[in-house]
Structure formats: structure tokens, C-alpha cells
Amino acid sequence: MKTRLPEPLANYYAAVNARDNERVLGLFAEDAVVKDEGNEHRGHDAIRSWMHETTRKYGRDDPASSSTSRQFSAVSRCSMRPWRTRPPKRR
């Protein structure tokens, strides 16, 4: 049974799997913060650098086409806040 991801995560993983860093970056707010391996990456420039460094460091192995028989698992934890504007309060 497949788990259906929330749309923002599905869009993120679709862009990552397409190896489209600019599309991935476009999913983040301008002031987004990525926390990874004890470091914080704030804003598009820092997140872009983090994506390039992570790709350089770990590569882009596709487990589905890998010749190894190991199984991989990943944990994604994210918190999403609304954009800067909010809908008006109803009276």
C-alpha cells in the first residue's frame, strides 16, 4: 500500500527525483530555513549552496536503479507556515 504524501512533499520529492535543483529551490519561501546535520541554511542562496554541497558530498544515487540489495529509508520532517499574508478573519 502506497502512502500518499501531502502535496508540498510530493512536489519536493518529484523535483528532487527529476534532479531539478532550481525547481526544488522554488518550493521554498525566500526566508526558508533548512536544518540538516546540525547546521542551518537560511534563504535561497544558502539553501542552493546546501543542495549543491549535499549532492557533491553524497552523490545522486538512485536506490531504485542501484545494484546493491540494501534497502534505504529516509525521514522527512518539515514544518510549514502560511505565506506572509493570511486570509482575513471572518466576523
- The domains of the chain, with CATH numbers, are 7-58 (3.10.450.50)
Q: How much is the pTM? A: 0.61
* Strand-pair category, 33-36 with 39-42: antiparallel
CB 10 within 8 A of CB 18: no
**Tens-level pLDDT at each residue, the chain (91 residues):** 677 888 988 998 899 889 898 999 999 999 999 999 899 999 999 999 999 998 888 876 554 444 333 443 445 555 555 545 555 555 5
25 φ, ψ (degrees, to nearest 5): -60, -35
